[in-house]
A and B are shown apart, each in its own frame.
Chain A
Amino acid sequence: MLAASAFFVFPLIAAFEFSLRVNQGKSHGFDNFRWVFQQEGFKTNLGVSFRLALLTAVAVLVLMVPTVVYLHLGGGRWKRMIEFICLVPLVVPVISFALGVGTAFPVFLQSTVYELSFLYVIVSLPYTYRALDVGLSSIPLLTLVEASRASGASMRQTLLFVIVPTIRSAVNGAVFLAIALSLGEFTLAVLLHWDTFPTWIANISQGHILNAIALSVLSLVGAWLVVVVMAIAPKSLRSNKTQEATS
């Protein structure tokens, strides 16, 4: 564990140290970060990326959780097909995909930045599917559902109040991935000519290398803060109880 943390932490520290260099490298300070916040467009573009991330997370939850649950309950025969479909977004090169999107989508869809959210859902499919799939495979799903249905709950209630809390960590994983992806995605946004936080970073850091580094460290740390806060914010007592009951 220690070696692992070292491997991950050291490059981050190196980049962070770099972003702290000010005054032509002669001293350290937070000027580069202050500069970032002072730039025109910081709030606007950050807001755009936040909204995209939110929409993506909601869309992923609504689309994927019922789908994967169904695959584990009765739709097993379609599992292989869906699994392959969910792998495709990963292996299609993003530049080719962007080209296809640019050619295929009608103008009204390409005139809103929220087209990116739908595309981010697609791009995060491999990860979100796999996270939910692994989570669902490791719980006694059938027993839970049968018990819940036998107690009189509808399918919808079962889904919301029994299954989801039980696979909480898998759902969290899927949502975190979707959000982290949306906040940091660059290539699709650039090729579809949108201004999101990552593309704004690339634009304003032209010619300012220290600020560029500060910005990329900032976006990494920022994304991390967002998901960590979501992770350790207090959860409802009920879900804890449910988890204990099923273990």
Chain B
Amino acid sequence: MAQRTGTPKKGAGPLAYLSRGSTLKSLIPLMPFLAFVAYFLVFPLTFIIRDAFLSNDGKFTLDNFAECFKGVYGHSFAVSIRLSFISAMIGAIAGAMIASAVVKTGTRSRRAIAATSSVFANTGGVPLAFMFLAGFGTEGLVTKALKAVGWNLYSGSFTLFSETGIILVYCFFQIPLMVLIFTPALENIKPEWREASDSLGGGRFSYFSRISVPLLFPAFLSTTLLLFANSFSAYATARAMTAGTLPLMPLLIGNLVDGNVLANQEHLGHAMAVCMIGVSAIVMGIYLLVLKFSKAKP
């Protein structure tokens, strides 16, 4: 059976020294990481956060945040969260299915697939938009091929430039990300457990629901969270493919901070960026609650 990880009993085992002692002492091994993150991540962020509370004249104000929740900006919360959630779910489930197929292959090909997945997981922006337009666009290679066998993708109202289309395009990097990160978890499901479960009279379903799902659930959920955040902040691809008709938070921030039309509204952009961090904190909180709740089950 898999060992539970986590803090061992106090005072037991050769690793007891790690969990004894004051809170501060237990932070010491994390110092290099924390120092690195403090300088290279938190330090730049403090300027963004500070500016979110400033007006154009440099005075402290909460107006930027008030503005964040009104009109198109407030609406973008819903659109971004919904799109990211759906994209994460599809990516997670499809990715998990593919991962379970990958696990059955040999070590070398598994590593090759991992490498390939990492490259796909990092595609985005204009190259990805072009690939999809060249493939699935109205004059795309795939569209033409499908037409030849009688299936016209565009006979209905399907378009790549809608929320659905964007979710489809996002799958291109979401699924490989899931495959890449979830496969190691699957690799450690031993076949002996299946044999043990079968020999105890359990069927396929009970193996699934009592053994593999509970074991894999935390990894599955945490990777889904990653997929959510990945989709939530994706910017360049949507920008190339929706010309502003889909109000997503990163796009709106781009218009405010980096555009050619709206000027002197960077502070609102910074406030929106802080809001994005806030949303992800809330989503992470929900994830932790779900995790706790699932572990509490008998």
Q: Which residues of A pack against B, CB within 8 Å?
A: 1, 4, 7-8, 10-15, 17-18, 63-64, 66-67, 70-78, 80, 82-85, 87-97, 99-101, 103-105, 118-119, 121-122, 125-127, 130-131, 133-143, 145-146, 149-150, 167, 169-170, 172-173, 176-177, 179-181, 184, 186-187, 213, 216-217, 219-220, 223-224, 227-228, 230-232, 247
Contact = CB atoms under 8 A, between A and B. Distances in A.
Given A146-B15, A169-B187, A231-B114, A127 B135 contact: no
Contact of A133 (B18, B177, B222): B222
Contacts of A74: 7, 15, 17-19, 26
Contact of B281 (A84, A220, A230): A84
B30 interface: yes
17 contacts: A4-B175, A64-B33, A72-B6, A74-B19, A82-B33, A83-B222, A90-B229, A92-B233, A95-B235, A95-B258, A99-B266, A104-B46, A127-B226, A180-B121, A186-B125, A216-B130, A223-B122
Interface residues of B, number: 100
A103 B33 contact: no
Contact of B6 (A1, A76, A89, A230): A76
A77 B24 CA distance: 12
Contacts of A216: 126-127, 130
B89 interface: no
A233 B12 CA distance: 42
A99 to B, nearest CB: 7
Given A67-B33, A146-B14, A181 B3 contact: no
B253 interface: yes
Given A88-B41, A150-B14, A224-B116, 15 more contacts: A1-B98, A1-B101, A85-B41, A87-B280, A90-B280, A92-B273, A93-B235, A95-B253, A97-B44, A99-B257, A100-B47, A127-B121, A224-B115, A231-B114, A232-B112
B288 A80 contact: yes
A48 B111 CA distance: 26
B3 A141 contact: yes
Contact of B29 (A14, A75, A104, A223): A75
A15 B172 CA distance: 14
B130 A213 contact: yes
A176 B233 contact: no
A141 B250 CA distance: 39
A191 B33 CA distance: 26
A140 B273 contact: no
B213 interface: no
Contact of A76 (B2, B7, B116, B250): B7
Interface stretch (B70-78, B136-144, B147-155): B136-144
B45 A187 contact: no
A7 B235 CA distance: 22
A165 to B, nearest CB: 13
B270 A96 contact: yes
Contacts of B142: 10-11, 14
B231 to A, nearest CB: 10
Contacts of B199: none
B180 interface: yes
Among A7, A100, A125, A220, the one with the most B-chain Cβ atoms within 10 Å of its Cβ is A100
A37 to B, nearest CB: 19
B119 A224 contact: yes
Contacts of A167: 184
A15 B241 CA distance: 16
B118 interface: yes
B26 A75 contact: yes
Given A8-B172, A134-B219, A90 B14 contact: no
A66 B141 contact: no
Contacts of B235: 93-95, 187
A19 B296 CA distance: 55
Contact of A97 (B15, B45, B269): B45
Contact of B45 (A63, A100, A135, A172): A100
B225 A93 contact: no
Contacts of A84: 281, 284
Given A85-B37, A100-B45, A127-B181, A17 B3 contact: no
Contacts of B46: 100, 104
A161 to B, nearest CB: 16
Contacts of A184: 122-123
Nearest to A177: B118
Interface string B263-274: 000100110010
Nearest to A71: B30
Contacts of A89: 41
A84 B230 CA distance: 14
